[in-house]
């Protein structure tokens, strides 16, 4: 049996979008969901790569945040790993468009295949969290 905590959604994001992702994580918690956010789950002195690899094994879905600055280096690596694992296990991958982003960028072909959530009306858009 897996003793790791189960999380509802792994939050994959560019560190430049951290304040927006942090706000959405708080709202998800208020909705009764358990998001996995790196700054809350990676303890000092731990290898973030090891912790992330373990976390990917214990999540029910992944939210791929796309901000106006695009994807970050680590976000791209996490995305590659998640897509392979999640396709095999039929786990949802949810593109999330942050304010200022109107659509999934054309160079992210794999993410264009999934229905996305949009915060184009701002982070307080309650409709975006209903999905």
Q: Tell me what pLDDT residue 57 has.
A: 81
* Cβ neighbours of residue 71 closer than 8 Å, sequence gap 6 or more: 14, 79, 108
pLDDT score of 8: 94
pTM of the predicted model as reported, rounded to 2 decimal places: 0.87
In a domain, residue 1? The reply is no
On whether residue 90 sits in a domain, the answer given is yes
Domain assignment present for 78: yes
How confident is residue 33, by pLDDT bands cut at 50, 70 and 90?
A: very high
Whole domain around residue 58: which residue ranges? 9-130
Residue 41 has pLDDT above 70, yes or no: yes
2: in domain: no
Can you give the CATH number for the domain in which 110 is found? Answer: 3.40.50.10140
- The answer as to whether 3 is a domain residue is no
Please check whether residue 16 lies inside any domain of the structure: yes
pLDDT tens digit string along 56-78? Answer: 888 899 999 999 988 888 888 88
Domains of the chain: total: 1
Separation between Cα atoms, residue 57 and residue 106, nearest integer Å: 29
């Amino acid at each position: 049996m897996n003793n790791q905590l189960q999380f509802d959604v792994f939050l994959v994001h560019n560190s430049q979008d951290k304040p927006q992702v942090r706000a959405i994580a708080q709202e998800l918690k208020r909705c009764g969901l358990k998001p996995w956010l790196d700054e809350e789950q990676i303890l000092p002195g731990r290898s973030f790569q090891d912790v992330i690899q373990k976390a990917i094994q214990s999540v029910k879905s992944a939210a791929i945040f796309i901000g106006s600055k695009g994807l970050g280096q680590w976000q791209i690596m996490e995305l590659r790993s998640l897509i392979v694992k999640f396709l095999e296990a039929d786990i949802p991958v949810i593109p999330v468009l942050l304010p200022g982003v109107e659509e999934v960028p054309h160079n992210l072909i794999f993410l264009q295949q999934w229905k996305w959530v949009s915060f184009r009306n701002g982070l307080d858009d309650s409709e975006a969290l209903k999905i």
